[in-house]
Amino acid sequence: MIHNIEGLMLQVENRKQELIDLVTTLIKFETPAPPARNTKDIQQFIATYLENLHFKTDIWDVYPGDPNVVGVKKGKASELYSSLIINGHVDVAEIREDEEWLTNPFDPIVTEEAIIGRGAADMKGGIAGALFALKLLHEANIDMNGDLIFQSVIGEEVGEAGTLQCCERGYKVDFALVVDTSDLHIQGQGGVITGWITVKSPKTFHDATRRNMIHAGGGLLQASAIEKMMKIIEGLQDLERHWAVTKQYDGFPPGTNTINPAVIEGGRHPAFIADECKLWITVHYYPNETYKEVSREIEEHLLSVAKSDPWLKHYPPTFEWGGCSMIEEKGEIFPSLEVDPNHPAVRLLSTSHQIHHGKEVTIDVSPSVTDGGWFGDAGIAAAIYGPGDFKNAHAVNESCSINQLIAFTKTMIHFIYEWTNTKKDDRYRDFS
């Protein structure tokens, strides 16, 4: 069978125009998020593509106009052989009217070196390469003994949990591969959680009472919620500096674990003392931490800060964490993901990469976040591995290297075949 696999590698080269056409077809579907609610057509295209490869599809709306698509191809001996999820998102970064593109961002340009268009790098190139690998395996009548699942999800760009819904729907495997932007590195990631911190007075006061609140003899134990939020922000800055000193993780520059005070809302109008102030923060944390641990640490610190303040100790801040959509709820969670370099699927993927690149793969951590963390959160071993780089992702005139796309597709063919034909009790053999 290995000779058939080698033959498929030649087909990737010989049929590269088909692969390029698949990428450009996907780019032509206009799926920016925001505004989102625009992926129905591309998801139907992918569902049909999978059905033609004899996958059984499961399609449901995460939001109206934004369905998930999951294709399942059962293995010949599922209970004995390793199973795999391939995961990717079809939404792409937003477009602003003042951006200077060479052409319409959804009318892709193909040069000798690259495909240019919104989503080429993040991440329709990765989806196309994985789909084309599945097509070549299918056409060659190469069976897999383990289950193979392809997940085409929505919402990653705006923190909408298409992948979380897949996990909650019961799709479990031995390994999941997110084919998102990684420059063909095998990557884990830190995590991100957003949160709202609210300082609120139970009473309202006319602005004429300010003298009574702040000057000697005023006799009114009240305060501006906006001014008290300044103490909360100072507390966050102290904690952020403490984290930079006390927490490190290989692959991240010191101090990558940040607390960003991103948006502040407060007050009614000038005739009132501000009775409420809300702060929207973004927290980046390391792969060996969880969003529950980090949010709890922030709460405990800020409640200690509040206890030292004569007003906040009576009216301490309250907290709302995360959310399933930056559009619907103004909140998101991206769980962290640690990659075990000794996991058999990671070792096999490393071998597959080396065979088709002639050099060892880089195993590191993503400077960004992907849906990969949802698999780790669900107890599924996972990694990120895809074409495209962060110089191009979200960029004007976003592009993906054609040579990298071809190399990725070859790696995927080898990895999919080998992993789904590896016995569960034989996974720790030497893949080199």
Q: Which residues contact 296 (CB under 8 A, 6 or more apart)?
A: none
Phi-psi region of 184 (alpha: psi -120 to 50; beta: other; left: phi over 0): left
Residue 64 CB neighbour total at 10 angstroms = 8
Q: Looking at residue 431, what is its pLDDT? A: 52
| Residue 178 to residues 155, 182, 255, 338, 425, Cα–Cα distance (Å) | 14, 10, 26, 13, 24
Predicted TM-score (pTM) of the model is 0.93
Q: Which residues contact 247 (CB under 8 A, 6 or more apart)?
A: 257, 286, 289
- Sign of the torsion angle spanned by Cα atoms 234, 236, 238, 241: negative
Task: Read off the pLDDT of residues 251-275 as tens digits, 9 standing for 90 and up.
Answer: 999 999 999 999 999 999 999 999 9
Using an 8 Å Cβ cutoff, are 111 and 393 in contact?
A: no
Using an 8 Å Cβ cutoff, are 229 and 167 in contact?
A: no
Residue bearing tokens 């032509």 = 28
Q: Which residues are catalytic?
A: 91, 156
* CA–CA gap between residue 59 and residue 52 (Å, rounded): 15
| Residue 372 to residues 113, 220, 223, 318, 369, Cα–Cα distance (Å) | 29, 52, 44, 30, 8
Using an 8 Å Cβ cutoff, are 92 and 122 in contact?
A: yes
- Sign of the torsion angle spanned by Cα atoms 68, 176, 413, 353: positive
Residue 189 CB neighbour total at 10 angstroms = 28
Q: Which residues of the chain have pLDDT under 70?
A: 1-3, 426-432
**Domain locations in the chain?**
2-189+337-426, 191-321
Same fold, 2-189+337-426 and 191-321: no
Partners of 320 in the β-ladder = 196
* CA–CA gap between residue 350 and residue 348 (Å, rounded): 5
CATH number of 191-321: 3.30.70.360
Partners of 66 in the β-ladder = 63
Q: Which tokens belong to 3? A: 């000779």
Q: Looking at residue 430, what is its pLDDT? A: 59
Q: Looking at residue 429, what is its pLDDT? A: 57
Residue 293 CB neighbour total at 10 angstroms = 11
* CA–CA gap between residue 42 and residue 44 (Å, rounded): 5
Q: Looking at residue 207, what is its pLDDT? A: 86
Q: Which tokens belong to 148? A: 């193979």
CATH number of 2-189+337-426: 3.40.630.10
